[in-house]
Amino acid sequence: MNIKTPKVIANWKMNLMPHQAHDVVENIIDLCPKASSDIIICPSYTHLYPLRDLIKDNIFLGAQNCHDKTSGAYTGEISALMLADLGVSYVILGHSERRELGPYENLSIKAKIRAAFNAGLQVVYCCGEPDSMREAGNHEDYVLKQLSSDLFDFELSELTKLSIAYEPIWAIGTGKTASPEEAQAMHLFIRNTISQQFGIELAHSMAILYGGSVKAKNAGILAFQNDIDGFLVGGASLDPNEFAAIVNVFL
Q: Phi first, then psi: what are they for 90, rounded to 5°?
A: -125, 155
pTM above 0.75, yes or no: yes
Residues carrying an active site annotation = 95, 167
Q: Phi first, then psi: what are they for 23, rounded to 5°?
A: -65, -40
**Domain assignment of residue 94, yes or no:** yes
**214: three-class secondary structure by DSSP:** coil
**Ordered alpha helix ranges (H), 120-199:** 131-135, 139-151, 180-198
**Domain assignment of residue 80, yes or no:** yes
CATH number at residue 69: 3.20.20.70
Average pLDDT along the chain:
95
Report how far Cα 246 is from the mean position of its chain's Cα atoms: 15
Q: What's the burial of 212, exposed, middle or buried (CB within 10 Å: 0-12/13-18/19+)?
A: buried
**30: three-class secondary structure by DSSP:** helix
Q: Cβ distance 160 to 123 under 8 Å?
A: no
Domain residue limits at 47: 7-250
**Domain assignment of residue 198, yes or no:** yes
Contacts of 122 (CB under 8 A, 6+ apart): 89, 90, 91, 116, 161, 162, 163
Cα three-residue angle 94-57-233, rounded to 5 degrees? 35
**Domain assignment of residue 2, yes or no:** no
Kindly report, residue by residue over 146-200, the tens digit of the pLDDT: 999 999 999 999 999 999 999 999 888 777 778 999 999 999 999 999 999 999 9
pLDDT at residue 3, as a whole number: 65
Q: Cβ distance 207 to 175 under 8 Å?
A: no
Q: How many domains does the chain have?
A: 1
For residue 1, pLDDT over 60 is answered with no
**Domain assignment of residue 147, yes or no:** yes
